[in-house]
Amino acid sequence: MRRAFLNRVNEMIEKEKDTVFFTVDIGMWAIKESMEKYPERCKNVGIFEDGMMSIAAGMAKAGLIPVIFGIQPYLIERALEQIKLDLAYQKFGANIIGTGASIDYSKYGYSHYCPEDLHIIKAIPGCEFIAPGTKKQFLQLFNQTYRNNHPTFFRISDYPNKIYDPDVEFNKAVVIKEGKTATVIAVSVMLDNVMEACKDKDVTVLYYTTLEPFDYQTLSKYYNEGNILVVSPQFEGSLTFDVVKAFEGKPVNIREVSFKREIFRNYGTCEEKMNYYGLTKENIRLKLDKLTETKNGIICR
Amino acid sequence: MQTISKKLRKTALYLSYKCKDGNLQSVFSCLEIIWVLYDKIMNWSRKKANDENRDYFIISKGQATLALYPVLIEKGFFDFKDVANNIGKFDSRYCIQTDLTKFEGGIENNAGSLGHGLPFGAGTAYAKKIKNLKSNIFVLCGDGEFMEGTMWEACLFASSNKLDNLFVIIDDNNSAGSMVNMFDMKQKLEAFNFDVRKVDGHNEFELEKVFCELKLLKNGKPKAVIAKTIRGFGSETMMKNDIWFHKSPDKFELEQLTREVEAL
């Protein structure tokens, strides 16, 4: 996904004179030629994510399309007030592409993890949050949004889906399959595991890559007695408000397969972490079985 | 004090009285700076408020926004009665800070939290360079604001990218002194490869001279003007009593402070 993004950057800088790409000291290997050929519009800008958000807003004010590349927690958590005031409050657009996702830098420790990203960005009205599941989907979503004058955050992961790769559209969930006993919300890189766990189950699977704004309309069509399973590679609870809002006035029974809210102090591989926190097809199946066994009318067990 | 300085102060006082809020000490310390920029220095007029080649005034020390409204009123961009009758009201365009989304030009940024305006202005200055446009970007900062790390990030960015169209004006009213020792700001900024000048921030003639001189220096270096000012300048009461950092006048105080401004 990262490679696809940086290739797209090269093309964008070459062809579109009103675009600017700033990287915070990562990924230069893939854009070396563009950096040499267009040093003003394609550069390794410096290690200052917070100030850079303000700089990006200032560039957007003067009519440029800024694209910023960095590591997810530094782009989002370090720069939160700049995101809120300089981008969202002033209504200036920028494309912020973060690598690392929740735990891609598994051996680096919690400084490099960002399971909070969705929850944080959802707290700032006007921001968009996109989590593609494959490189094809990244390109589709980037091309649909990068000129829309909103602060748009792209969460790119080094661990994409390998089997399922449907076409996606900004702010639209994809109905992967329809069933009657529950609705499973598969987020981003969790689609392969969801499909493996649900293959013989009579459930609806909705695939979400745009998480803010949230496609309430599609979800609201698949109530399925209020049995909702959220499978998301973020902190648990990141989409709870959206699920409740989609079914406003109706009881919902939500279960989750997502990261437990704690400071991760373990290392190992990304796969080990996914196993430890239960983001596996086995656990999805287990939760789904429990969900479809529960009686109706009980909210959020 | 010049007639215009008195007039601007009286307008600021009245606006603060009407909206029952404000940071008048900080407003009074920078009125001459803003006036000189709009009246003598910037390529800006009411008709050019959306011109791509205009100069930009970015207010980074947002607590002094009540100093910007009087200048824009005087320049015919805002109507005095409109501002005075609406400032701070529920549906108003005007508040103690600014919200550019409510205006078609004239207000260039949303001020408020410190440390945002300078990097924002640096981004605009950079964009103007890329687009080969002539705009200069003037950013008014507080001396205390330079405690924020993003200010120095912006300085690094500005000098590394040779933004000689960026003018940083420090309203040095010694706010920082009660908290930290900023030591020699001129030396610091020169170390960041800025052209730096010191000036009496209440002397319009000196301000004009320094800005004119710096505008001619197209040498790849960003510019900084350290303007020595006095909090509450123009009112004996405000200069003596720091309660006026955040206080609005009642009717009696409005009359008293207006008399003080007239007398100076």
Could you say which residues from 87 to 106 on chain B have a Cβ atom under 8 Å away from some Cβ of chain A? 99-101
Are B149 and A50 an interchain contact pair (Cβ–Cβ within 8 Å)? yes
Residue B155 near chain A (CB below 8 Å): no
Helix (H, G, I), strand (E, B) or coil at B141: strand
Helix axes A281-293, A191-198, angle to 10 degrees: 50
Alpha-helix residue ranges (DSSP H) falling in B54-169 = 68-74, 80-86, 117-130, 149-160
Domain count, chain A: 2
The answer to whether residue A300 is domain-embedded is: no
pLDDT at A294 over 60: no
Task: Report the residue of chain B nearest A57, measured CA to CA.
Answer: B120
Domain end, chosen from A156, A184, A217, is at: A156
The answer to whether residue A161 is domain-embedded is: no
Task: Report the residue of chain A nearest B58, measured CA to CA.
Answer: A58
**A130 and A192 co-located in one domain:** no
Distance, CA of A251 to CA of B229 (rounded, Å) = 63
Alpha-helix residue ranges (DSSP H) falling in chain A = 2-15, 32-37, 49-61, 72-76, 80-82, 117-122, 135-145, 191-198, 216-220, 240-246, 270-276, 281-293
For A115-128, the pLDDT digits (tens) are 999 999 999 999 99
Low-confidence ranges of chain B (pLDDT < 50): none
Which top CATH class is B3-263?
A: alpha beta
For A46-102, the pLDDT digits (tens) are 999 999 999 999 999 999 999 999 999 999 999 999 999 999 999 999 999 999 999
pLDDT at A297 over 90: no
The answer to whether residue A136 is domain-embedded is: yes
Task: Report the residue of chain B nearest A64, measured CA to CA.
Answer: B127
pLDDT at B2: 86
pLDDT at A298 over 50: no
pTM score: 0.95
For B100-130, the pLDDT digits (tens) are 999 999 999 999 999 999 999 999 999 999 9
pLDDT at A299: 43
Domain end, chosen from A123, A156, A189, is at: A156
pLDDT at A232 over 60: yes
- Chain B residue numbers with beta carbons less than 8 Å from the beta carbon of A62 are 123-124, 127-128, 131, 133, 135
The residue among A17, A40, A54 with the most chain B CBs within 10 A of its CB, best to mutate, is A54
The answer to whether residue A166 is domain-embedded is: no
The answer to whether residue A165 is domain-embedded is: no
Helix (H, G, I), strand (E, B) or coil at B145: helix
- Residue-range domain boundaries for chain B: 3-263
**A26 and A134 co-located in one domain:** yes
pLDDT at A230 over 90: yes
pLDDT at A293: 82
Longest dimension (CA), chain B: 53
Residue of A20, A45, A85 lying closest to B110 (CB–CB)? A85
The CA-atom distances, in angstroms, between B16 and each of B68, B91, B122, B198 are: 13, 18, 31, 30
**A73 and A121 co-located in one domain:** yes
Q: Give the list of residues 6+ apart from residue A107 with CB closer than 8 angstroms, or none.
A: A267, A268, A269
- Residue A183, domain extent: 174-293
Domain end, chosen from A156, A184, A202, is at: A156
Task: Report the residue of chain B nearest A50, measured CA to CA.
Answer: B150
Are A59 and B108 an interchain contact pair (Cβ–Cβ within 8 Å)? no
Residue B171 near chain A (CB below 8 Å): no
**CATH code for the domain of A131:** 3.40.50.970
* B186 CA: distance to closest CA in chain A (Å): 22
**A6 and A146 co-located in one domain:** yes
Could you say which residues from 47 to 86 on chain B have a Cβ atom under 8 Å away from some Cβ of chain A? 52
Could you say which residues from 176 to 235 on chain B have a Cβ atom under 8 Å away from some Cβ of chain A? none
Are A51 and B127 an interchain contact pair (Cβ–Cβ within 8 Å)? no
**A146 and A243 co-located in one domain:** no
- Chain B residue numbers with beta carbons less than 8 Å from the beta carbon of A56 are 123
Distance, CA of A240 to CA of A232 (rounded, Å) = 11
Give which of A232, A178, A185, A230 is closest to A207, Cα–Cα: A185
Average pLDDT, chain A: 95
**A17 and A152 co-located in one domain:** yes
Q: Averaged over A136-156, what is the pLDDT?
A: 98
Task: Report the residue of chain B nearest A82, measured CA to CA.
Answer: B116
